[in-house]
């Protein structure tokens, strides 16, 4: 690349004076558990049955419980339905799909942490 050639990722901003450049800003995309579960259910080649969902379950050992995606009867707007209960999506701590964690709630801060799906 010559000195006069501008790298692809850096483009002149029309509102800046000549000779100034700005870098392309990449925003983080937040993925919620409901979106992941719906994707596994409806996306071709994916299967909700191959997922393991760990959620907060008061009274269970360690206050959490893990179920298979096959145990999910329905995905509603604010919660998912199993054979035993309706669980709000905000209680989901982790979603693993075919051995890979695709969603995890950070314990310390309580903030949701996204993982890429394969």
Q: Which pLDDT tens digits describe the chain residue by residue (118 residues)?
A: 555 554 445 454 454 445 544 444 555 566 889 999 999 999 999 999 999 999 999 888 889 999 999 999 999 999 999 999 999 999 999 999 999 999 998 764 445 555 444 4
24 within some domain? no
Q: Is the pTM of this model over 0.85?
A: no
- Comparing C-alpha atoms, which of 61, 55, 114 is closest to residue 88? 55
* Number of domains into which the chain is organized: 1
* Two tokens, residue 74: 């329905």
Domain boundaries, position 83? 29-114
Beta bridge partner(s), residue 51: 97
């Amino acid at each position: 690349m010559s000195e006069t050639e501008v790298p692809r990722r850096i483009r002149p901003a029309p509102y800046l004076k000549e000779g100034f450049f700005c870098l392309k800003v990449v925003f983080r995309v937040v993925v919620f558990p409901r979106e992941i579960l719906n994707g596994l259910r409806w996306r071709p080649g994916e299967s909700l049955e191959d997922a393991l969902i760990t959620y907060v379950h008061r009274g269970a050992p360690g206050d959490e419980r893990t179920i298979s995606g096959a145990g999910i009867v329905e995905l509603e707007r604010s919660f998912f339905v199993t054979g035993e209960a309706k669980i709000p999506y905000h209680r989901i701590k982790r979603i693993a799909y075919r051995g890979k964690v695709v969603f995890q709630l950070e314990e310390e801060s309580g903030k949701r942490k996204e993982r890429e799906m394969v």
